A = this chain, B = another copy of it.
């Protein structure tokens, strides 16, 4: 049986939901107030879960200090106090729904994670709207 370690971090960002292949009317109909052209924003809460075996020397699945620096480099420094649509290349052609952000965060963090570890992302857009990837 394996063990998981979870680290919580957060970032504050502006975004809007928008599909550039659609008319303004369709965007408004589907995304409602989340489509506001001047953006709105959220305090995103991020939970990064890493699953693996506990190293008997350290008692760690993974050093949380290392995990924090991977999250900082790949997510916080790139998303915090930014406009996801305008400032972040990941969402140049991708609608920044909470589901899509969770998938992108997964891909970004995974590439810097030591081999043999499993990764899961939980992202809170608000206290009441949350995505998980992989489910």
Interface residues of chain A, those whose CB is within 8 Å of chain B, are 1-10, 12-15, 17, 19, 21, 30, 32-34, 36, 38-43, 49, 51, 54, 57-61, 63-65, 80-83, 86-87, 94-100, 102-103, 118, 126-135
SS class of chain A's interface: helix, strand, loop or mixed? mixed
| This protein's copies in its complex | 6
CB distance B82 to A2 under 8 Å?
Answer: no
CB distance B41 to A40 under 8 Å?
Answer: yes
B contact residues around A43 at 8 Å (CB)? 41-43, 126-127
CB distance A99 to B59 under 8 Å?
Answer: yes
Closest CB pairs A-B (n = 7) = A41-B41, A59-B97, A1-B134, A38-B83, A4-B135, A59-B95, A33-B81
